[in-house]
Structure 1
Amino acid sequence: MNFFKGLTWDHPRGYKPLQAWAQLDDLVNVQWDIQKLEGFESHPIDELAEKYDLLIVDNPGIGEAVEKNCLLPLESFLSLEQLDFLKKNSIGNSYESYRYGGQHWAIPIDAASQVCALAGDIAKTPPITWDDVILLSKKSNQRIVLSLGGPHALLTFYSICLSFGDLLFKDNRLIIKQEIAIHALSIMQNIYQQQDKSLIDLNPIGLLDAMAKGKIDICPAIFGYINYADPSHSLPITFCDIPHAGQSILRGSILGGTGLALSSRCTPTPELIQHIMGYVSESVQKNLVVDNEGQPANIAAWRDEYTNKQTGNFLSSTFNTVSSAYVRPKYQGYIHRQDAGSKVIREGLKLGSHPEVIFAKIEQVFSL
């Protein structure tokens, strides 16, 4: 039996369904190691690719991985029929998000975007627009927070800009209009002024943990996690579409999720390919993945009655947002700029800097 080593991230959503599927397969032996989410950022992709055959990756990091010759293109080991299956059955832009240099470099196995998260009674009347969010933030009984840790301050900024119909990039060049940027940053400042400042550095998992413990009522733009919507939890979180700025068609969310990539050291066998494609099949994504706290990428799973019953309608309630979510640039060096731009926003919010000053610094980061 062929043996393959894989590396995934340390949240149940990231490893439980992959490990469960591996245990069921008698034709191929896949061992999944687990690494902290931050480890994928701190460990160069080329070092990981030397040790592992399978890597769970996110779409913005594809450019660096390809430029370092770390991955195999899907076109080198999947048939046209299999590629067409992925294209037609992956939700939203999940499949295209792993395209770089004319080829695709990862199989979408998990789909996500920023959505709105609510706890308690506020879930009965979720905010529809960003104006609604600002009004909620000014109510003393509503504990509101923005997702600002790591890259998320910039991603929240992106989302609000997109909701006003603006473009973010053209040919990898930042082209956000100044008036839109100032408006978006003003919205963020209005909300930040009302929130618990100690939460500014938390990532989405940290914020959702706090929300599940009853410490937060609303986060208007945060990457959704199916696990927290489980109706059996003592305080399940309700997820819904992200607020818009007046036109519901402009959801303004940023696409996340993960893909399964094969490293350049890997020699895929027919059994391994069958194993991987089985994992993204409709039946496995609907049942095994969701039953093991995973978040599917197959569009049929997002529409399925069973999966939605199991997850407090997490999938159907955020379907429109995830389906239209924006794909970030993937050029080599983008991740560094994303982190730097997010840091600029966090510091600007802490200092109460004028939005025009904050945006000028963001533009400087992306002009380097």
Structure 2
Amino acid sequence: MTVLHGMTWEHPRGYDCQVAASQEYARRTGVEVRWEYRSLQAFADAPLAELAERFDLLVIDHPHVPRAVAEGVLAPLDGAGHDDELAALAADAVGSSHASYRHGGRQYGLATDAAAQVAAYRPDRLPAAPRTWEEVLDLAAEGRVLWPCKPIDAYSTLCTLAANRGTPVNAEPGTFLPEEDALSVLDLMHRLCEQVPSWCLDANPIEVAEALSTDATEPWAYAPLLYGYSNYSRAGFRPHRLRYVDMPSGPRGVAG
């Protein structure tokens, strides 16, 4: 039997699905894939060159693609006899999920999911999610809001809020964000940060989803911006189900 070694990230969404798919693949082809996993932080930060020396298959985040291509650690998937299948995947993809793994006219990865920032809440504790940021801040003042704002996730929030204002980052070459636009976004982020538990400063979206879906004593009921790990909306995955909804409305509604 041919054995391949794969590296993914540490969560049922990143690991369990790969294992299940590989079991079916082995049944059909006789090719076994043995998966290992790394932390979510390593998934976001760690360079791929070292992993590519040790593993045949990698589950990666799309921002890594340009550097990995420049270092020659990823093999292009197009031009290898499967272009019809790639075209079908591109046509069936959500938004830019398939295209985000394309670089320099070549395809270096396949989208296994699609990610966008959304809000989440506990329906058993909150009849409906806040619709505006002022409503979010009012709920946060009651101690009922969590927000994953470790640096990489605070950065994601900043980018989302800036785009929601109609002033996306890097809109002007050489300028990340004009000072006036940045201060408006940072003011809202600071106001929210003052109202959430201090541990949120070190929390990622999964840790917030875990707290919302498992805690039985704290009043936490809502998170305004995190990524939609759909496992938490499924019956039986955790003691309490989450419901994912649109982010709070801003100057451009829920766009951004």
TM-score range, shorter chain: 0.7 to 0.9
Quickly say closer, same or farther: Cα 1:135–1:177, change in 2 above 3 A.
Answer: farther
Quickly say closer, same or farther: Cα 1:154–1:135, change in 2 above 3 A.
Answer: same
Whether the aligned pair in 2 keeps the contact of 1:59 and 1:97 (CA below 8 Å) is: yes
Whether the aligned pair in 2 keeps the contact of 1:243 and 1:251 (CA below 8 Å) is: no
1:218 matched to 2:229? The reply is no
Whether the aligned pair in 2 keeps the contact of 1:49 and 1:70 (CA below 8 Å) is: yes
| AA of the residue aligned to 1:247 | R
| AA of the residue aligned to 1:74 | L
User: TM-score when scaled to structure 2?
Assistant: 0.88
Partner of residue 60, structure 2: 57
Partner of residue 250, structure 2: 245
Percent identity of equivalent pairs: 30
Match runs of 1:1-368 below 5 Å: 1-25=1-25, 26=27, 27=29, 28-40=31-43, 43-77=46-80, 79-121=82-124, 123-138=126-141, 140=142, 142-170=143-171, 173-214=174-215, 215=218, 216-232=220-236, 233-248=238-253, 250-252=254-256
Identify the range of structure 1 (185-194 vs 239-248) with the bigger mean alpha-carbon deviation.
239-248
Whether the aligned pair in 2 keeps the contact of 1:6 and 1:33 (CA below 8 Å) is: yes
Quickly say closer, same or farther: Cα 1:137–1:41, change in 2 above 3 A.
Answer: closer
Query: Displacement of 1:104 after TM fit?
Result: 2.1
Structure 2 gap segments, 5+ residues each: none
Quickly say closer, same or farther: Cα 1:106–1:122, change in 2 above 3 A.
Answer: same
Q: Larger % of helix: which?
A: 1
Quickly say closer, same or farther: Cα 1:77–1:131, change in 2 above 3 A.
Answer: farther
| AA of the residue aligned to 1:234 | P
| AA of the residue aligned to 1:225 | Y
Whether the aligned pair in 2 keeps the contact of 1:119 and 1:237 (CA below 8 Å) is: yes
Q: Deviations over 1:12-56 (max 9, x none)?
A: 111111111211233122221222223345643111101111100
Quickly say closer, same or farther: Cα 1:42–1:131, change in 2 above 3 A.
Answer: closer
Query: Displacement of 1:121 after TM fit?
Result: 4.9
Structure 1 gap segments, 5+ residues each: 253-368
Q: Compute the RMSD of aligned alpha carbons.
A: 2.1
SS in 2 for 1:115: strand
Query: Displacement of 1:173 after TM fit?
Result: 4.3
Q: Deviations over 1:64-84 (max 9, x none)?
A: 211111001222325332221
Query: Displacement of 1:135 after TM fit?
Result: 3.2
| AA of the residue aligned to 2:84 | E
**C-alpha distance in structure 1 between counterparts of 2:44 and 2:159, whole Å:** 21
| AA of the residue aligned to 2:52 | A
**C-alpha distance in structure 2 between counterparts of 1:171 and 1:65, whole Å:** 26
Greater RCO (Cα-Cα under 8 Å, separation 6 or more): 1
Q: Deviations over 1:186-207 (max 9, x none)?
A: 1111111111113210111111
